Amino acid sequence: SYTTDTKSREENKKTLESLYSLSVDITKIRRLKQWVLLQDVAYVKEIAGILQEMGADETTVANIIERCPEAILHTPAEINSQRALWQLVCQNEKQLIKLIEQFPESFFTTEHHQNQKANILFFQELGLKNNIITRFLTSAPNIFYNPVEKNKNVIETLQRSYLHLGGSEANMKIWILKLLSQNPFILLNTSTTIQENLEFLQKNDFTDQEVLQLLSKLKGFIFQLNSTTMQKSMLFSKNVFKCSDQELKQLVLKCPALLYYSVPVLEERLEGLLKEGISIAQIRETPMVLELTTQIVQYRIKKLSALGYDIKSGNLESLNGTKKDFEVTYGKIQSKKERPIFNPVAPLHIED
């Protein structure tokens, strides 16, 4: 809706003056989004005034405008509506201004106002806590742009699937809320995709209980896949590990990444492990190691080698887990290495 032809137009002097008076770094705006400065109408003072009303100081106001210059092209009425909307889930204006400073683009997207409002109310009804909804607003704003009916439809499909797979009515709400808070992007899928992916797992002989287990382990990422890529990844793993369908199923349950990652990703990670002298048999024993990037694996092997720990002859479990998990494992191996071989205080039993 804005003109982006920069050659034939001049920068708006009134806009420039207003920005200078707010100590905004105009060179930053010129570099990022010069087209904003060319518009005939801008609401610099008005938007700054609203932000100041919410408790933003001069530096914060300048920082917000530098990061999201198109903020000044919105009318005060649009921004006040957005402010009222976000206040539905923010504790106070202090928290709100902090969020705007961190995620200005999310706040200043006002085009889907009615959908945003309907979705916020829907999520509250669903039982999502306000702090989770604010996290969605900032990190996954596009799920609010959907018509609320679409989001409701996806949630209903998930609920039906959960019950159909043997999940209990009593646990369903907790399961849905956990799934959503782990991965809100599942709402960008269609009900058909969800249905197809579940059917794919069932066709591959995963029991209902195992499918539920996979859904929880994959944090809903399974809904962002499709049967073709899952089929290819499973076939790749079957060939690499030379295993039967039943054994493959157990490997996937142990390490859902075998289903989630594409063949090129699995290939690259496998190659990285083999280069470090790790055998296929070791990887098959601990497939979760494929969840780590090659860089992380190399870094961890290097750290363990420095302690004299030989990963080639040992167990790969020590490589696994989050950064925190690895630090705990590393600490244990380190303290074991530093521990004295005998207790100097204990009495020595020496036979005559």
Rounded average pLDDT per 10-residue block, the chain, 352 residues:
57 93 93 93 96 94 95 95 95 94 93 94 95 93 94 93 90 91 88 88 91 82 83 94 92 90 93 90 90 90 86 80 86 75 52 44
Range of the domain at 18: 11-110
pLDDT for position 219: 76
Residue 105 lies in a domain: yes
pLDDT for position 331: 87
| Rounded distance between C-alpha atoms, residue 209 and residue 221, angstroms | 18
Residue 178 lies in a domain: no
Residue 191 lies in a domain: no
Q: Note the pTM of the prediction, 2 decimals.
A: 0.77
pLDDT for position 9: 77
| Rounded distance between C-alpha atoms, residue 22 and residue 61, angstroms | 8
Residue 318 lies in a domain: no
pLDDT for position 8: 52
Structural domains of the chain, count: 1
| Rounded distance between C-alpha atoms, residue 294 and residue 315, angstroms | 18
Residue 197 lies in a domain: no
Residue 168 lies in a domain: no
Amino acid at position 5, single letter: D
Q: Give the number of other Cβ atoms within 10 Å of residue 284's Cβ.
A: 16
Cβ–Cβ under 8 Å, residues 68 and 108: yes
- Please name the residues in contact with 133: beta carbons below 8 A apart, sequence gap of 6 or more: 89, 120, 123, 124
Residue 62 lies in a domain: yes
Residue 51 lies in a domain: yes
pLDDT for position 37: 94
